[in-house]
Amino acid sequence: ADQPKLMEEKKCFKLIEQSFGIEEMKYWQQYGIDSNTLQRFHVKSLARYESVSNQGKPFTLVSTHGEPIFAYCMEKFVKVYRPKSKLRFLYGGEKVDDYVFGFEQLPSKGDMVFITGGEKDVLSLSAHGFNAICFNSETAQIPENIIEGLQLRFRHIIILYDSDETGIREAKRQTDELAQYKVLSLTLPLQGIKQEKDISDFFALGNGAKELKELLAKMFSDLYS
């Protein structure tokens, strides 16, 4: 009787990988994300994804031209990302609640590290030459032991969340809670609507590393003036 429960917690899944198609690469490239970045962060393109629903029913998702399927592959689990589908995210395997996406790709030391809202934002920042990580969600409490570790390695820790109501509220809450670590927060000058709210959108709108550096310079001068 114990067996099925175990299966349920593990959420068995099967990935049928394929190479990134031209249209799929275009999707990532609009954010400046190249194939090297996708490889570095273990992002795969899937032809099919097979798993079992919460009700125990097997199901298969098939990639189509209009609805591609990507997977962020972590050690023990996978986060399936379908940017153009109604149900955008799915998890397979043993989901770890306190996982940090991008952590293993960080250098041992650096000037600054961004804590951002999601995996795609980590990828787009990294592709533009910045260090970044994200947690499970913007509303997840950032673990202090991770901040302490980052503080030893980076001069500045900067929260860079969405420019919508939730993102702005959560960025303020996190910087308040982590005040002793002098964590900073940068709000992007975006409208905060669906197509224009995060750092990936910022890059898709034609901005680059230069524009982000200008925003940072302004943030630092406001802080120290």
Instruction: Give the confidence band of 195 by pLDDT, cuts at 50, 70, 90.
Output: confident
DSSP 71: E
Which position has the higher pLDDT, 97 or 144? Answer: 144
The torsion angles phi and psi of 91, rounded to 5 degrees, stand at: -120, 145
pLDDT at 11: 66
What average pLDDT does range 33-60 have in this prediction? 95
pLDDT at 83: 96
Going along the chain, which residue ranges are E strands?
Answer: 13-18, 43-52, 58-62, 69-73, 77-81, 89-93, 110-116, 131-134, 154-160, 184-185
What average pLDDT does range 64-72 have in this prediction? 96
Instruction: Give the confidence band of 6 by pLDDT, cuts at 50, 70, 90.
Output: very low
DSSP 20: P
Q: Cα separations (Å) of 99 from 38, 42, 74, 112, 184? A: 19, 15, 9, 20, 22
Instruction: Give the confidence band of 200 by pLDDT, cuts at 50, 70, 90.
Output: very high
Instruction: Give the confidence band of 10 by pLDDT, cuts at 50, 70, 90.
Output: low
Look at residue 174 and tell me whether its pLDDT is greater than 70: yes
Average pLDDT, the chain: 91
pTM of the predicted protein model: 0.92
Residue with tokens 């503080």: 151
Look at residue 179 and tell me whether its pLDDT is greater than 80: yes
For residue 174, give both structure tokens: 């996190």
